[in-house]
Amino acid sequence: MSERGPNDLEETISKQNKVIEMLQYKCRQAGRVIIELNVKNEGLEKEIDRLSEENDNIRTMYGKNKNGS
């Protein structure tokens, strides 16, 4: 039996598999964060729409149009 060196294919494959597993884990983490941010973004868009509508209603109540006249 010979001693394994840095060019041993089994060792290289094992290292690459560990890298692949780590990258898959990080991708899953990033995917979860993206989903959370999308949900938060949708909530913020709804809040902006609500505030915009409320602003329009207040302007209408006080007789001002959107141009500030």
Q: Is the pLDDT higher at 61 or at 4? A: 61
Q: For 26-56, b where at least 16 C-beta lie within 10 A, e where not — what string? A: eeeeeeeeeeeeeeeeeeeeeeeeeeeeeee
pTM: 0.64
Instruction: Look at residue 1 in the predicted model and tell me its pLDDT.
Output: 45
Length of the chain: 69
pLDDT at 67: 63
- pLDDT, one tens digit per residue, over 10-55 is 999 999 999 999 999 999 999 999 999 999 999 999 999 999 999 9
Q: How many helices (H) and strands (E) does the chain have?
A: 1, 0
Give the span between the Cα atoms of 47 and 55, in whole angstroms: 12
State the pLDDT confidence band at 63, using cuts at 50, 70 and 90: confident
